[in-house]
Structure 1
Amino acid sequence: MVAQPSDATGLRLLVVGASSGIGHAVAESAGKLGARVAVAARRMDLLTKLADSIGGSAFELDVEDGAAITRVVAQAAEALGGLDAVVFTSTVVPFAHIEDTDVTTWVHAFSVNALGANNVLRAALPHLSENGVVLIASSHDVGRPRAGVSAYSASKAALDEILHSWRSEHPELSIVRVGIGPTADTEILRGADRDLLALLFKSWVERGQLPAQMSALQDVANTLLSLVLTAYANPSVVPEAVQLFPRIRNR
């Protein structure tokens, strides 16, 4: 049985990166628990289906487009009557050895993973309620990068520094950074070169970087939603940095 947060009634929530994976699961769970949800991502066919299922609103958004972020966040806030919480899960993971990672790949990773999150937070700032919460999904591997994901790892490290600056300049904000470990049933490997992945997986196993089991997608989504609800209900406390690791169970 999957334990879920108990109640999200009335929470005005925007989930960026909700077309699949963790963001989709967070939006779906929040909607079922009574939250008013707006979802944003690039794949409108998936977003529209999700929004219809939870009675929410869907907005097309490419998080590399700063002007679009400002516009869409404002539209979502208008549709919801303000924002109590924003969850950012948009992520790209380019798989390549570092010597094969070109400038375009570096820029793409930083534009989505670091600047995208920063620009969503920036756009949300004037719309957040007094106890509003912003949760940003990051990686639990920051500081110990695996082979083959240099652009991803560096962009997530940059994201951490960006969030430190936000906290320094805006201590009134509730910003929750969650480092997420290996999670099943996401689309992180979508479009990756299978031959390269085979080599990388071998490297990760040899270095003890590949867990015997992954975290369940719904468990991760429920944990993120619980963090948002806890921070929103307890505004004098900020769970600033949370790390999620797979729990390895004996079979």
Structure 2
Amino acid sequence: MSSQLADAAGLRLLVVGASSGIGHAVATAAAERGAKVAVAARRMELLTELATKIDGFAFELDVSDTPAAVASTVTAAAEALGGLDAVVFTSTVIPFSHIEDTDVSTWIHAFSVNTLGANHVVRAALPHLSENGVLLVASSNDVGRPRAGVAAYGASKAALDEILLAWRSEHPNLSIVRVGIGPTQDTEILRGADRDLLAQLFKSWVEHGQLPAQMSALNDVANTLVSLVTLSYANPTVVPESVQLAPRIRR
């Protein structure tokens, strides 16, 4: 293994939201780079397969559950790893709906997962985090630039950003890295979405210049997140508090 790939050697990492997409890719990339990895999400059949592949640990977790339930799972993962050097939170839901059609249950679910879920995981991880430990939370690079059809997602991510700022304000000793992630290939964000509605939304996004010509490659995003964790862990006097990832458009 090259030194570049071994830069996470020995790192004890918990990836939340690892059953698919970015979280799954982060867990895989981190393991390939030498980390000891635990994964957590709702779909245990996918997690078990991943954990076997990376020689890690799998834990069932619904981040919209009670804070006590979240804390119990994070504690179990920390015990399996022998502590936590880093946590990467990638769980997210993106309900597609025009704002006037977005019902209360949709708003609540989006905030329960995207906002409160992340907050509960951060809080649960603190007792187990090593001295130079890193908490990386995935947000959206669209915060402040709302697009049609994803109001609940955008609002929940904006609220998440404020919560992470509050954590840093009240706990400046913590290394909390907020990463705004742009459009990325090979994720499951469209799973279960209404195709007729998506066609309308895509048209609106194109008209407003909100649909990039290209998307970022999933593995590139995952490796960038792992690199941010390893760099932050290795340089504990510096916190990259907010990082934006956007597709690099090659013409």
TM range (shorter): over 0.9
Partner of 2:15: 15
Alignment of 1:230-245 (within 5 A): 230-245=231-246
Q: What are the superposed Cα offsets for residues 93-142 of structure 1, whole Å, 9 maximum, x if unpaired?
A: 00000000000000000000000000000000110000000000000000
How many residue pairs get matched?
247
Matches of 1:174 and 1:16, distance apart in 2: 17
Q: Which residue of 2 aligns with 1:217?
A: 218
Mapped pair 1:179 → 2:173: no
Q: Is the 8 A contact 1:19 1:43 kept in 2?
A: yes
Q: Which residues of 2 match residues 161-180 of structure 1 at below 5 A?
A: 161-180=162-181
Distance in 1 (alpha carbons) for counterparts of 2:224 and 2:158 = 22
C-alpha distance in 2, partners of 1:23/1:55?
Answer: 16
Q: Which amino acid aligns with 1:158?
A: A
Q: Is the 8 A contact 2:84 2:133 kept in 1?
A: yes
Give the match's secondary structure for 1:141.
coil
After superposition, where does 1:1-251 map in structure 2 within 5 Å? 5-65=5-65, 66-250=67-251
Give, in angstroms, the shift of residue 6 of structure 1: 4.4
1:51-103 CA distance string (max 9 Å, x none): 00111000000000122210000000000010000000000000000000000
Give the match's secondary structure for 1:200.
Answer: helix
Listed as ranges, the gaps of 5+ residues in structure 1 are none
Q: Aligned partners of 1:34 and 1:161: how far apart in 2? A: 33
Instruction: Call closer, same or farther: CA 1:12–1:168 in 2, change over 3 Å.
Output: same
Report the Cα distance in structure 1 between the residues aligned to 2:29 and 2:47, rounded to whole angstroms: 15
SS at match of 1:156: helix
Root mean square deviation of aligned Cα: 0.7
Q: Is the 8 A contact 1:5 1:226 kept in 2?
A: no
Shift >6 Å, 4+ stretches: none
Report the Cα distance in structure 2 between the residues aligned to 1:135 and 1:57, rounded to whole angstroms: 19
2:5–2:32: 8 Å Cα contact kept in structure 1?
no
Q: Given that residues 19 and 47 in structure 1 are in contact (C-alpha distance below 8 angstroms), is that contact kept between their aligned partners in structure 2?
A: yes
Other structure's SS at 2:62 match = coil
Name the % identity: 80
Q: Specify every segment of 5 or more residues in structure 2 that has no aligned partner in the other structure, as ranges.
A: none
- Separation of aligned partners in 1, 2:84 and 2:5: 19
TM-score (norm 1): 0.97
